[in-house]
Structure 1
Amino acid sequence: MALETVEQAQVLTLENPEIRLTIRPDLGGRIDQLEDLQTGHAWLWHPSHYAPETTRSLAVGDSFDDHWTGGWDEVFPNDAAGPFQGRNLADHGELWSQSWQVLETSPLSLTLGYQCQTVPVWVKKTIQLNANRPEASLVYEFKNQSEQQIPFLFKHHAAIAIEAGDEILLPDCWVEPAFLEFSKIIGQPGKTRFPKAIGASGKAVDLRVMPPPSSQLQEFYYASELAKGLCGIRHQRSQSSLLMTFDTADFPYVWMFQSYGGWRGHYVVVVEPCTTLPSDLEEACRNGTAALLQPQEHQRRRLMLHLQRD
């Protein structure tokens, strides 16, 4: 583990012979970069204006989209901002915008903690790198410090650097547009079996292969009833894949946000294993699809990341 301070930016690294993770406690405790040391490929996307040597100071409630600089954020306790059960919840929650405490370090592991402000919850994250293989475990612990039940949404928000011809990886599952007015590939409401969907013309479209940025397309869909807990991206040029695996009891859904030049000019796919559906927590509660923290409950959820080379 290496720790350095460059113009107040806190940078931590976990590394084995196969993989290097760069972590930024000052930027929401996120994984800022994920590098394959065998292929040289850097998996995580950042906008062209991102300056990794600098830090930032944001208030809880600042706009996520206006301050988004890529990497692997986490979203909790909500996605859509607004009042909920007497609380004013922030845009994309609050984990991403605030600095986390470094609790424990070792050459292959890091534990971070954060005390939430919008809900009475303590969050702890442990990243454990395998000693020899290109994989790591991400374990999240949530402690409800109150005597009230807390409905919540928790999701990964991994911005993946992509190239035309790369592929989205999902198991057999149902997919449906999150917001049809945003969709430029899926053209009709309702569920279809991945990788097929119905375009605006009524013809079948394949959701796997990524178009070039010149397409100016964008898409955002939810995946549910996953045959197994798996999602990821295959990078064609390096002949390798980034896979996330998990228990579907921990993450029953995967959200896939895609901008192929169409949204703010970005060319990126955001892979989002999630506890909850849809983005509106009130609606999720009505549907019975919100995750729940019972009074004083201590809850644990785990995800594994793997690099797989052909």
Structure 2
Amino acid sequence: MYNPKIFNTKVAGFDAVGIQSRAVELLMVPKLGGRVVSLRNIKSGREWLWHQDRPDWLWPNEAGDSFGISPQAGIDECIPSVAGCFFRKNQIPDHGEVWYQSWQIDSDALSHNVLKSTVNLPITNMSFSRAIRMTEENSLLFEYSLENHNTTEEPFIWSLHPLKNIIEGDIIELPREVTFMRLDGGLGVPISRGDIWSYPEPFPGIRLDVCQVPGEIDERCVKGFAGPLTSGWATIRNTVTGDRLELRWDANFAPYLGLWINRGLSGFHHVALEPCTGIPDSLFIAAEEWKTVKTIQGGEKLEWSLQIVIS
């Protein structure tokens, strides 16, 4: 038997709520967009989530801020768009509507060892909730809901945005069906939105699965997408330590996987595996050009989940 517990603590001066078993610990800061700032393998000591190497690495943001001036730490939720865009008479902020807001914690759920919180989307008139619970001592279930308070159908993109540390020996493992990436942008080599790269080796000697990015400049990065997928899983495994993090989700609901690799942009080095419902990052382009977007009917409530397994 495992006995998960909820606890309160401080992280970089902010109130945080944690959930912990004998094997895994997760910390979330409700005030900062429900940001998950730590995901740690207690047995091996590996911290999976990235943050800037400075003492004041967390701070609040406001509506209209560029995500680039945010802490960019850990796991954010992006909805109804990842990139800022103008869509249906609305200016959707960069990274969506929920990452800069304070989320409301459900105290009753806390008493049942569940980190549940909700937040409203004031621009698109929807509400979003996420509950995090442990299903095994090394497994966390993220349960989501999105409710449309409009009378009309609303297109949206949901994307998990988990920035992870890159450590020597890390290797990305994806379903065998992933043989190419459709690009959204990057730095290092000339890239146009929609370009196709072979996966995992788009250029001789350059392997995306070991977090390599082509180019000669120091600020190299790339964002691409796999899918539509029939298998919803993605893993980072360390070939030296054996540490492993796996994401599992329903590919019928979120048929795409974003891959972000940053090797030096802003001096940062991190990687993100991003299950998502539509591509590319802009809701406008996904809905109007690529035609790869999910919709929610007026008055409808959608529910979905994602599992993170640490071993």
Please, what TM-score do these two structures have when normalized by structure 1?
A: 0.88
Alignment-mate amino acid for residue 302 of structure 1? S
State how many pairs are aligned.
299
Q: Is the 2:147–2:299 Cα contact (8 Å) retained in structure 1?
A: yes
Once the two structures are superposed, residues 241-283 of structure 1 have per-residue CA deviations (whole angstroms, 9 ceiling, x without a partner) of: 110001101211111111122x111110022111101122222
Is 71-80 or 2-11 further displaced after alignment?
2-11
What does residue range 266-305 of structure 1 map to in structure 2 within 5 Å?
A: 266-286=268-288, 287-305=290-308
Alignment-mate amino acid for residue 267 of structure 1? H
- Kindly indicate whether residue 158 of structure 2 is the aligned counterpart of residue 157 of structure 1: no
What does residue range 110-125 of structure 1 map to in structure 2 within 5 Å?
A: 110-125=115-130
Alignment-mate amino acid for residue 9 of structure 1? F
Q: Write the distance in 2 (CA, Å) between the matches of 1:41 and 1:296.
A: 43
Q: 1:5 and 1:233, CA in 2 relative to 1: closer, same or farther beyond 3 A?
A: closer
Q: 1:233 and 1:215, CA in 2 relative to 1: closer, same or farther beyond 3 A?
A: farther
1:126 is aligned to: 131
- Kindly indicate whether residue 184 of structure 2 is the aligned counterpart of residue 179 of structure 1: yes
Q: Write the distance in 1 (CA, Å) between the matches of 2:143 and 2:95.
A: 20
Moved over 6 A (4+): 185-189
- Kindly indicate whether residue 41 of structure 2 is the aligned counterpart of residue 40 of structure 1: no
Q: Write the distance in 2 (CA, Å) between the matches of 1:234 and 1:185.
A: 30
1:24 is aligned to: 29
What does residue range 214-233 of structure 1 map to in structure 2 within 5 Å?
A: 216=218, 217-233=220-236
What does residue range 74-223 of structure 1 map to in structure 2 within 5 Å?
A: 74-103=77-106, 104-106=109-111, 108-130=113-135, 132-172=136-176, 173-179=178-184, 182=187, 184=189, 190-191=195-196, 194-197=199-202, 199=203, 203=204, 205-211=206-212, 216=218, 217-223=220-226
Q: Write the distance in 2 (CA, Å) between the matches of 1:211 and 1:18.
A: 30
Q: 1:152 and 1:50, CA in 2 relative to 1: closer, same or farther beyond 3 A?
A: farther
Is 21-30 or 162-171 further displaced after alignment?
162-171
1:49 is aligned to: 54
Q: 1:211 and 1:288, CA in 2 relative to 1: closer, same or farther beyond 3 A?
A: closer
Q: Write the distance in 2 (CA, Å) between the matches of 1:146 and 1:306.
A: 36
> Any gaps of 5 or more consecutive residues in structure 1?
none
Q: Write the distance in 2 (CA, Å) between the matches of 1:241 and 1:93.
A: 29
Is 248-257 or 180-189 further displaced after alignment?
180-189
CA RMSD in angstroms comes to: 2.5
Please, what TM-score do these two structures have when normalized by structure 2?
A: 0.88
Identity value in percent: 24
